[in-house]
Each structure stands twice: as C-alpha cells, then as structure tokens.
Amino acid sequence: MEYRRLGKSGLLVSELSYGSWLTFGKQIDEALAKDCMYAAYEGGVNFFDNAEAYAEGRSEEVMGKILRNAGWSRDTLVISSKVFWGGDKPNQKGLSRKHVFEACHAALKRLHVDYLDLFFCHRPDLTTPVEETVRVMHDLIQQGKILYWGTSEWSAQEIMEAYAVARQYHLTPPTMEQPQYNMLQRAKVEGEYYKLYDVIGLGTTIWSPLASGLLTGKYNEGIPEDSRANSHDDIPWLRDIFEGEKAQPKLEKVRKLSRMANEIGISMPHLALAWCLKNPHVSTAITGASRVEQVKSNLKAIEHKDKLTVEVMEKIEDILQNKPKIPLY
C-alpha cells in the first residue's frame, strides 16, 4: 500500500480507502461489516469514511462498534464524518454553526472516538454565510474535536470563497474535497479544480471509483440479482446508473474497457481503480464493498498500476472520449 499526502497537509492516507455508504447499517449485517473492515485494515487501509447521513447515523454506529472492539491503535487510523443531512427538523441539516457543532459531537459519540481526523461539509449550504461555516470548523479544530476540515461536491468557486474567508480572518482553510471521480466522471477533478491543487494545495478523497459497481463490468449484460442496483428500492435514482437510456453510452464504454482489461491481463475493477490512482491529484480513492472478497480483490489493484503504461492510458482515452478541457482563459 502506498500512503499519499492529503494535498499539501502532512497527513498520510492509504491510496485506497474504505467507505460505508449504502452498506453499513443497511445492505450488509454487522458481522459482515466487521469482516470487511478487518480485511481493509489488514490490507493496509488506514482511512475509513463515514457520514451522519449514511443509514441515518446507523452506519457510524456500526463502524463505531467495530472500532471500539477492534482495539486498533488510534494513530493507525484516519476516521471521517460528514455534516449536512442530519434530519428533517429545522437545524438538523445544513452548515450552520449549530448543526455543524452538534453533528460533530453526535458523530464522535456514534463512532466512539475522541476526535475526527477529517470532517467534511457534505454539500455546500447556500443559505448559511460561508464565514459561519469556516469559523465553526476552525473552532472545532481549536477544541481538538477535528483535525482537518474539507468539503464534498463544492464548486471550485465555493472552495475558493471558503479559503479566502479563512485567510482573511486567520482561520483554518479547508484541506480536502471529496468529489466523485472515476473513468466516467472526470469534470471536477481534472477540469474545474485544476488550479486548486497548486494554489491552495487541495487534497482529494475521491468517491465511487467504480461508479457504484458499473465499472466492474458486472452490469455489462444486465443487472445481477445480488448487486447494489437490486438492493436499494428506497433510492429510485440508483437504478438509473445501471440501466435505461442514460446508462447505455456508459455501458458501451465499459464493455470496450472490459475487453481492453482482458487484453492486458487484468480485471475490469482493477483497471478502473488503478486508473484513478494514476492521477497524482487523487490523495485516496474511497472504495465501497459489500463482501470481503471484493475488499481483498480491490486492494490488489495497486499491484497493477504499472500495467497502465502511456500506451494503455492513450487507448483508454480513445474509448472514454471524455477528457475535460482545461480552459486557457
């Protein structure tokens, strides 16, 4: 396992990490969640991702129980939470000082930790002044409740606003952003954020490196019975990732990529994960997995990074045809 710096910070995160969205407290039981986390930790993963919204807090409770019983040394772990969707009542969502403060304390309790290494604003809150959010994140750092704060799915402009406000008032600026990034979703990480890596030293903890499983190739011939697409009737938009008109051009690309992966002697999930890791602006790719075998297999992707030579990367580009253009002016 390679450990990469989270942007310009001194924190080292495993290049592949493990997150609990849709799985912990939901799709898989506690025993399986524990086995998956152990497989990840024993495979060198040090960063585990969570959020107050995941299974309405149950995901953090499950992870917290595992962490409490595992006895892993705290300094071998990087634990995150995210704040935004805490409930339906006023002040249970968004990025007000009150909700950020309360969400942090609730996450600490659920996760059984004294501090969070990373705390993300899960989405931008257009109704709260950015200074209020930056200030409460800074205060939580001062109080030792969190070590680094960041954003998720914010625009480059919103991240720059938070950075500028922090600099203006001598507060702690955001360290990292959590965007979706994979072979089929490249606009933010390769395009919009282009300047932020140098200008503010932004790190990225990218999500859905396998596009929820689409990039494993297992949806190439239809939806498998025991897959994510079939496991969440409560999320109507989820199936659109895997079937229907919008999914077809993506599936066509994945079929071509699967043939290419076969030609160079690696699996489609390994190709997709190794491709993400070729981007030096990716600090860590957060994988999801509903089985221990998936965790173990996905970690092997790091062994195949060298197979993605310049020539192979060009062939991939020919198939994808979606490289974002960097605006020159």
Ligand X SMILES: NC(=O)c1ccc[n+]([C@@H]2O[C@H](COP(=O)([O-])OP(=O)(O)OC[C@H]3O[C@@H](n4cnc5c(N)ncnc54)[C@H](OP(=O)(O)O)[C@@H]3O)[C@@H](O)[C@H]2O)c1
Residues that bind ligand X (CB under 6 A): 19-21, 23, 49, 152-153, 178, 207-213, 216, 218, 227-228, 231, 269, 286-290, 294, 297-298
- Comparison of 128 and 294: residue with beta carbon closer to ligand X: 294
Whose CA is closest to 47, among 7, 103, 4? 4
Q: What residues have CB less than 8 Å from 104, skipping those under 6 apart? A: 81, 83, 116, 119, 140, 145, 146
Q: Are 15 and 4 a contacting pair, CB within 8 Å?
A: yes
- Comparison of 36 and 165: residue with beta carbon closer to ligand X: 36
In the complex, least distance from residue 327 CB atom to ligand X, rounded to whole angstroms? 25
Strand partners, 137: none
Catalytic residue among 18, 41, 54, 148: 54
In the complex, least distance from residue 231 CB atom to ligand X, rounded to whole angstroms? 6
Residue 203's φ and ψ, nearest 5 degrees, are -100, 160
In the complex, least distance from residue 184 CB atom to ligand X, rounded to whole angstroms? 10
- Comparison of 59 and 172: residue with beta carbon closer to ligand X: 59
Q: What residues have CB less than 8 Å from 55, skipping those under 6 apart? A: 24, 25, 26, 62
- Comparison of 55 and 312: residue with beta carbon closer to ligand X: 55
Distance, in Å, from the CA atom of 133 to the CA atom of 82, rounded to the nearest integer, reads 13
DSSP state of 308: S
In the complex, least distance from residue 100 CB atom to ligand X, rounded to whole angstroms? 16
Query: Is position 38 annotated as part of the catalytic site?
Result: no
Catalytic residues: 54
